[in-house]
Amino acid sequence: MGLPKYPQRYYGDYSLITKGGYAINKAFGFLIISSIIAAAFTGKISTLTADTMSAAAAGVTRVFGLIGILTLWLGVAKIAERSGLLRLFTKVLQPFLSLLFPSIPKGHPAMGSILMNFSANLFGFGSAATPFGLKAMQELQSLNRSENASEAMCTFLAINTSSLTLIPSTIIALRVNAHSANPAEIVGPMIIATLVSTFVAVNADILCRFHSRKRGLN
């Protein structure tokens, strides 16, 4: 199998996207269908039209309230990227990262992309994290060359899906908008919760890795 070219084939295989998107499509359908059927029995069907319309309008208002803070954050993140602060951060994390990815040779470009992806995630800069992450996957695939996920890929995505965000800018924006007395008060608890989920992800990944080595690929 030839390696997909980057970035033209970001979404080279649609079957996986549909598979991943399947659950949300089902959930969306389930919420709406079960609600309307339930409303017919609970006698709330008369207020449902107004509720639905105002919910749609509220969704747009909510997003518009986010624009200012998103704009600010993306601007600040650009400065961090351009000044090399993001790269500096990467250097600090390097030894820790070689521990996590024993199968990646030292100095392989995959490590750099993984580090950039993690750093961007830590800063809550999700839209920068994704390009670095896809680049990292491409470099990991150059070590893998198979249709089965490599161990390093599984570790990389385990950490990614557990979230590494230190600054949840969007959530803070939501709270600012709703006139919170202290919008950032959730940052501390959130960092602890995300550390727990990342810690569990790393350990579950290690367990699965050794288990699958014993039992063969699955």
Partner 1 sequence: MVIHWINTVSSWFIPFFLLAVFLHGSYKKIPLYDTFIEGAREGFTLAVRLIPYVVGIYVAVSLFENSGAMDILLYPFRPALTFLGVPEEVIPLMVVRPLSGPAALGITAGLIEKFGPDSYIGRLASVIDGSTDTTLYILAVYFASVGVKNPRYSLPVGLTSDFSGFIAALLICQMVFA
Using CB under 8 A as the binding rule, whether residue 97 contacts partner 1 is answered as: no
Using CB under 8 A as the binding rule, whether residue 114 contacts partner 1 is answered as: no
Near partner 1 by CB under 8 A: residue from 42, 46, 106, 216: 42
Using CB under 8 A as the binding rule, whether residue 102 contacts partner 1 is answered as: no
Instruction: Please count the other Cβ atoms lying within 10 Å of the Cβ belonging to residue 51.
Output: 11
Distance CA 199, CA 196 (A): 5
Distance CA 216, CA 218 (A): 6
Q: What is the dihedral of CA 23, 26, 31, 32, to 10 degrees?
A: 140
Near partner 1 by CB under 8 A: residue from 60, 106, 107, 216: 60
Give min distance, CB of 116 to partner 1, in A: 15
Using CB under 8 A as the binding rule, whether residue 197 contacts partner 1 is answered as: yes
Near partner 1 by CB under 8 A: residue from 85, 93, 97, 143: 85
Amino acid at 1: M
Using CB under 8 A as the binding rule, whether residue 92 contacts partner 1 is answered as: no
Using CB under 8 A as the binding rule, whether residue 122 contacts partner 1 is answered as: no
Considering only residues 160 through 179, tell me which ones interact with partner 1, judged by CB under 8 A: 160-163, 165-168, 170-172, 174-175, 178-179
Rg, the chain, Cα only: 21
- Taking every pair of C-alpha atoms in the chain, what is the biggest distance, in angstroms? 66
Using CB under 8 A as the binding rule, whether residue 63 contacts partner 1 is answered as: yes
Token pair for 46: 């008369």
Residues near partner 1 (CB under 8 A), total:
122
108 or 183, CB closer to partner 1?
Answer: 183
Q: Is 128 in contact with 77 (CB distance < 8 Å)? A: yes
Distance CA 116, CA 98 (A): 14
